[in-house]
Amino acid sequence: MEFRFAAILVSINLLLFFDACLCTATTPIYSSRLIHRFSDEAQQLWVSKRKSNGKSNTQGAWPEKKSLEHMRLLLGGDLQRQRLRLGTQNQLLVPSQGGQTYNYGNDLGWLHYTWIDVGTPNTSFLVALDAGSDLFWVPCDCIQCAPLSLSYYYMLDRDLSQYSPSHSSTSKHLSCSHELCDHGPNCKNPKEHCPYTVKYLSDDTSSSGFLFEDQIHLASVGGNKQPSTAWAPVILGCGSKQSGEYLDGIAPDGLMGLGPGGISVPSLLAKSGLVPHSFSFCFDKSYSGRLLFGDQGPTSQRSTPFLPSKGKYVAYIVKVESYCVANSCLKPTEFKAQVDTGSSFTYLPHETYEQVAAEFDKQVNAKRIKAQGFDYCYKARSLKLPSMKLIFSMNQSFVIENPMFQIADNQGDLSCLGIHPMDGSDGIIGQNFLMGYRMVFDWEKLKLGWSISNCQDIGDSREVHPTSPPSSASPKSLPTIEQQRPHSGHAVPPAVAGRAPPKPSAASPPLLIFTEILWESVMEVGLLALSLRSLPLVYIPQFTTRLVKGSLTHVGGFAFGTSPYQKNKCVLTTNFVWRTLDILLIA
């Protein structure tokens, strides 16, 4: 195989020579000597430098050419370079348990939830997802919290948790002097612990406590890369006292605000340089879905710009130019609407609501029934529903896949229209209108994007078990960012005072997984091409052993297990314990 390397080197030399010939006599040429780090010249420079520093012993410190140690060092440098290069590219991040979202129906208020791991060691929380507010809070050192025992939630398979800052080695107090401390001016001493209180539009619904900085566990996904663990510092509320609907079964384990304010998780991830200031939700028709941080959507998506409120961009507000029922686009039905994943249903200004509901009822061939809280319900098992769509700015149409939902009432099974009237001239586009779409909240480009999706073709749904951050590497500190905006509430239903101890998940050790191996001959290993899902090809020369079917084999310092091969291809399984060189450990 050595002649292949020679051919490559010749090609490079020819290319350099050709480039030089393009320069004219009057063109200045700037040159620099290239010295390979393990060349004879580099060795002479290294020895000279050591001697000048009084270190005369250089025996065995320089790798012998074409030795195993030489190749290990080269490979280590390649991998380090790849990590640096990959680290500068945009990636998608999901919560380390996969980023799947869940809707438990009326039992947990029709909101979407996801599991998120916080702190070191990690503790898992089932948090409600809310694009209508900013703060991420969890039950913590509870004085008045929702019950957290599994016995209260038949749809779950584990107890819920509460956060204890004293049990997390990465937890830090947020002081009143921090610019993200909204109550800072009211503190007696700037070094005091920053308090918070966030109120929502629902009657007497709030969360209060103190702010902390800690880490959330994430996984990078996308393309053909192997998912890897990441840790990111965020600010979270230690919610010791909840009230209102947060004591009645909604968001019992906390809420993640995904708004554009400086204190929100998407904002902090972007400020840390991990991902663009953008995220996506995808809700499929079975009420599950996916959350992706850094997602700016496909190029084929439709979009509409976000609008400012009183001259400032503070929420995901869009302009609805018209509301159409079947072929009838009703006028005047222009209004502004906040896109809010924390609202289960959609709310329209009174006048618009009356027009839309009346037109819808006229076109439905079924008897209308009023159910508690819903004015437009129908008992028919199969309804012929008129299509509905919103027309946004720039004539961008947004088809509402299914505006109806099913409930069981004392009158039997009913299908109800999931819209409600609200006071004022603005509206709220809630979760029920977002079903079947990949919704992209791109704050960098100030636009809302959407594309039809089954939610299974986005990123990678594999779970990456959280591990503790390396002790040798201190995590990034939170960046300095603009003052958080006041928390604008909205109708978020929450959970009867109880207390449960934190329940950290067990951390999994890092694994190095080779997905496939190609070789030139079935038995004798010449030049191996190891195809890693997270790295390009890595080449290992022939020093090693035979590749034996179905056995544990050592190749160039690796130890790996093989499954039966087909032709000259061997697919490795994850049923083995992988032992590698230190330079090849990939979490």
Query: Between the ranges 58-62, 423-427, 566-570, 581-585, where is the mean pLDDT highest?
Result: 423-427
**Amino acid 234: pLDDT:** 96
pLDDT at 184 over 90: no
Over 60: is that where the pLDDT of 511 sits?
A: no
Position 72 pLDDT exceeds 80: no
What are the residues facing 447 on neighbouring strands? 305, 442
Decide if pLDDT at 192 tops 70: yes
Distance CA 269, CA 93 (A): 9
List, as one string, the DSSP characters of 324-352: EETTEEESS--EEEEE-TT-SSEEEEHHH
Q: What is the pLDDT of residue 78?
A: 54
- DSSP assignment, residue 323? E
What is the pLDDT at residue 392? 96
Q: Tell me the pLDDT tens digit for each residue of 150-176.
A: 999 988 999 999 999 999 999 999 999
What residues contact 428, with CB distance under 8 A and at least 6 apart? 132, 337, 338, 340, 343, 346, 347, 422, 490
CB-based contact 277:149 (threshold 8 Å): no
Which member of 117, 159, 295, 340 is catalytic?
A: 340
Query: What is the predicted pLDDT for the residue at 75?
Result: 61
Specify the residue for token string 């070789």: 519
Set 117, 130, 134, 159: catalytic member: 130
- Name the pLDDT band for 580 (thresholds 50, 70, 90): very low
pLDDT cut 70: percent of the chain above it? 63
Distances in Å between the Cα of 470 and the Cα atoms of 191, 230, 289, 435, 437 are 29, 11, 31, 39, 38
pLDDT-derived band at 319 (thresholds 50, 70, 90) equals very high
Identify whether 130 is a catalytic site residue: yes
Q: Indicate if the alpha-carbon torsion angle 237, 238, 244, 247 is positive or negative.
A: positive
Report the 10 Å Cβ neighbour count for 311.
Answer: 6
| pLDDT at 74 > cutoff 60 | yes
Distance of CA 153 to the CA centre of its chain: 26
pLDDT in tens, 16-45: 333 333 333 443 444 445 566 667 777 777
Give the chain's end-to-end CA distance (angstroms, integer): 32
- Identify the pLDDT of residue 150: 92
Looking at residue 508, its pLDDT comes to 30
Q: Report pLDDT for 427.
A: 96
Q: Are 323 and 352 in contact (CB under 8 A)?
A: yes
CATH topology of 96-293 equal to that of 302-448? Answer: yes
Exposed, middle or buried by CB within 10 Å (0-12, 13-18, 19+), for 412?
Answer: exposed
- Is 253 a residue of the active site? no
**CATH number, span 302-448:** 2.40.70.10
Query: From CA 527, how far away is CA 2, in angstroms rounded?
Result: 9
Q: Which fold has domain 96-293?
A: Cathepsin D, subunit A; domain 1 (2.40.70)
What's the pLDDT score for residue 77?
56
Q: Which two tokens stand for residue 539?
A: 């080449």
- Segment 217-256, tens digit of pLDDT: 998 886 555 667 888 999 999 999 999 999 988 999 999 9
In the chain, what are the domain boundaries? 65-91+509-587, 96-293, 302-448
CA distances from 79 to 122, 149, 448, 506, 582 (A): 28, 46, 37, 29, 11
Alpha carbon distances (Å) from 385 to 40, 180, 369, 397, 454: 79, 48, 16, 19, 22
Residue 220: strand pairing partners:
93, 228
Place of tokens 């947004």: 398
Residue 535 class from Cβ within 10 Å (0-12 exposed, 13-18 middle, 19+ buried)?
middle
The burial of 122, by beta-carbon neighbours within 10 Å (0-12 exposed, 13-18 middle, 19 or more buried), is given as buried
Q: How far apart are CA 67 and CA 84, in angstroms?
A: 26
The enclosing H or E element of 51 equals helix 40-52
Distances (CA, A) of 358 to 330, 370, 417: 11, 14, 11
- Which of 56-65, 106-115, 393-402, 409-418 has the lowest average pLDDT? 56-65
